[in-house]
Structures are given as C-alpha cells and as structure tokens.
Amino acid sequence: MANAQVAPVPNKPVHRFKINQRFMYPMLATAILVTGQLSFKFLTSPVGTIMGILAAIVVEIVFSLIFVKKLPILTSAYLSGVSVGILVQATTIWPYMFCAAVAILSKYLIRVDGRHIWNPSNLGIVTLLLVAPAYASTLSAQAGNNYVAIAGIWLVGCLTINRIKRFHICFTYAAFFLLFAALRAVILGHFVSNESFMQEAGPITGPMYQLFVFFMITDPKTTVQSWKGQVLVAFLVAFLENIFRIYGTLASPPDGTLGNIVATHAPYFALTIMGPTALLLEIRSKRVAKRLQLAVQQA
C-alpha cells in the first residue's frame, strides 16, 4: 500500500488538530485493522499479520542499512506490513512474510531514476499470487453486513484522504468503477447472462476495496505528480480492471491459471500494470524535458 511519506504542501491549511501527515496512512490502516478484527475477525491468520508487519520492518531496516547506509523511518514499512497482513489470506505464516519482504525489496531493487515504480504491497500481493497461488488468496470477507460500519469506514477514509489531498484519486477510481459496473451490467446482462448492476458493483462494498482505494491507488510515491495525471491514471486502473472483469465473465478461465488469477484479483493486476506504466511515461517525459532544457541552454 501507500508509503506514508507525503511531499510537503506549500500554503498548508491550518487544522485544529495537527497530526503529522506522515502518520495519517498508518493510523487509518491501523484503525481498519483493529476495528475489522475486533468486530468481525476478518484476518485469516492474525499471527501471520503480525509476522508480515515484522518482516516488512526487518527487511526495511536491513536494506536501508545496506543501500542507504542509515536507519530508515519505519512508517512506510509498517504500512506495507499492515496492508499485506490484512489483504493476504493464508493459513500459514510464510506467505505474509514473503509478500511483505517482496513489497519492501521492490522499493530498493526495482528503481528508475531514483524512484520505485510499483506500489510495494500491490507488487507483493501480485507476486505471491503468481508464485504460490496454492497457498494464499486475498481478502474476500464482508464488513459484517453492517451498513453503518461500512459507511463509517468510507467516511473516515475519505476525510483522511482528503486531508492529504488525494481524494480526487479515490473519487475518480470509485466513480469509474461504478460506471463500468453499470456498463458491464447493461452489456453483459443483455448478451451473456443475468449480470446486474448489483452483482458488478457488489465487490466495492467489501473491505478489500476500501483498502485498495484508500491506500494502494493513492500511494504518493508511486503515483504521477500532476493532479490531472493522477485522475487519468485512476481512470485507467478502473478501465483496465474493467477489461479484466469482462474477460473473467466471458472466458471464465479455469482455476489456477493465469487468466483466473488475474480476473479474480482484477484490481491488483490493473494497478500493477497501469501504475508503473504511467510512472515510467512521466519519468521519460521528464528526461526528454530535461534534455530539451539542456539543448536550449547549450544553444
């Protein structure tokens, strides 16, 4: 999920209660973790969750010492660990640790122009699903059938995200998810089977999507920098997820195959593909701009 670090915002508005923005994501994630477990025990392996958090922290410390030569601030690793701990479903502990380790490793090893290009926990989950699908899945629990709880999480999440100026990403993604759900319901419902808007929109009412929307697609470190670019990428993630979902409905790929894993975990794979693509394009355009600037200066 998101790295906690948020770039300083000039002319920052004054809030009555000042909370360091670095801690906003971890606090929200911790609130969801604790509330979800205490109210409806949504963790498959609470011990696995704890071990995932610990693994993320340990790997962060070790690789920071190796490559950056100093101790890291651990909010990012903690957040990745919590995210993985909530979203991974496994009865054994190692998938949590593996996923958390891949998430943190990717930050240090897969970098372009000094930036890591994948949302760490998103890549960790996708890697786990590709490498060891027989041992793990992702969160598919309900939020206890409690509309108040669901509304509460959305409200708190939106307020928190709004405070760190990322609400437009969440809103764009959610709006297009619902729009595409409606389109699928109309088109597939007419030509394929009994697809309805309720069926197609159903997944977004679950806690998995709350985590995906609030933490993964808004990650400040792995989203493009412009407001318009962020909106465009959120749309493209929803669009690609929609393609995967149409494929899931039309092809119904058999269990265990790549197609099945991609379709049943469509948002993760959509972000895995679209997020770095957008980021690489941004990096490339910056390089081009820099070269042009240099050329102009030299001329």
Partner 1 sequence: MTGQSKSPASTRPPLVQRVLGVLMMTAIIGAAIYRGMLRPDHFGIVPSKMYGHASISAKRAQEQYGFSFKECATACGINFKHQAPQLDPKLSNVMPDVASMGASVTVVDYNHDGWPDIFVTNSGVGTQCALYRNNHNGTFTNVTDQVGLNDLNAPGTGVCMGAIWGDYDNDGYPDLLVYKWGQCMLFHNNNGTSFTNVTAASGIPAHSNINTAMWFDYNGDGKLDLLLCGYYPSTVDLFHLSSTRMMPSSFEFANNGGSKYLLENMGNGRFKDVTAKAGITSTAWTLAALAVPRNPKYPDIFLSNDYGESQYLVNENGKYFKDTSAHTLYWDPSGPGSLSGMNASFGDPLNQGKLSIYVSNISVGGELMQGNLLWMPKQGTSGTAIQYQNMGTNLGIDRGGWSFGAQFADFGNTGNQDLAVTNGFYSGDPNKSYWYDFGKIDGANYHLISDAASWPAFAGRSLAGYERKRLWVGDGEGDFTEAAQMVGFTDRFDGRALAVADLFNDGAEDLLEATERGPLLLYRDYPNPVNHWIEFDLTGTISNRDAIGAVLTLTWNNKHQRQAIVSQQGFCAQNDHRVHFGLGSSTTVQQLEIEWPSGLKQIIPGSSLRTNAVNPIKEPSRIG
Footprint (CB under 8 A) of partner 1, residues 63-92: 64, 67-68, 70-76, 89-92
Which residues fall within 8 angstroms of residue 81, CB to CB, at 6 or more apart?
52, 53, 54, 55, 56, 57, 100
Distance of CA 291 to the CA centre of its chain: 33
* Nearer Cβ to partner 1 (16/194): 194
Q: How far is the CB of 217 from partner 1 (least distance, A)?
A: 18
Q: Indicate the residue among 188 and 237 with the shorter CB distance to partner 1.
A: 188
Of the pair 135, 167, the CB lying nearest partner 1 is at 135
- Least CB distance to partner 1 at residue 14 (A): 24
Return the number of the residue (7 or 159) whose C-beta is nearest partner 1: 7
Stretch that binds partner 1, among 160-168, 172-180, 231-239, 257-265 (CB under 8 A): 257-265
Q: Does residue number 257 form part of the binding site for partner 1 (CB under 8 A)?
A: yes
Per CB under 8 A, does 281 bind partner 1? Answer: no
Which residues in the 153-172 window bind partner 1 by CB under 8 A?
none
Minimum distance of partner 1 from residue 48's CB (angstroms): 10
Angle between helix 94-109 and helix 75-87 axes, rounded to 10 deg: 140
* 99-118 positions binding partner 1, by CB under 8 A: 102, 105-111, 113-116
**27 touches partner 1 by CB under 8 A:** no
Annotate each residue in 114-143 with x if it binds partner 1 (CB under 8 A) or - if it does not, as one string. xxx------x--xx-xxxxxxxxx-xxxx-
Minimum gap (Å) between residue 127 Cβ and partner 1: 5
Least distance (Å) between residue 93 CB and partner 1: 9
Please identify, using beta-carbon distances, which residue of 105 and 174 lies nearer to partner 1: 105
Q: Does 264 bind partner 1 (CB under 8 A)?
A: yes
Which of these ranges, 10-18, 61-69, 157-165, 224-232, lies near partner 1 under the rule CB under 8 A?
61-69
Rg of the chain in Å (alpha carbons): 19
Q: Output the CA torsion 116→273→166→182 (10° steps).
A: -170
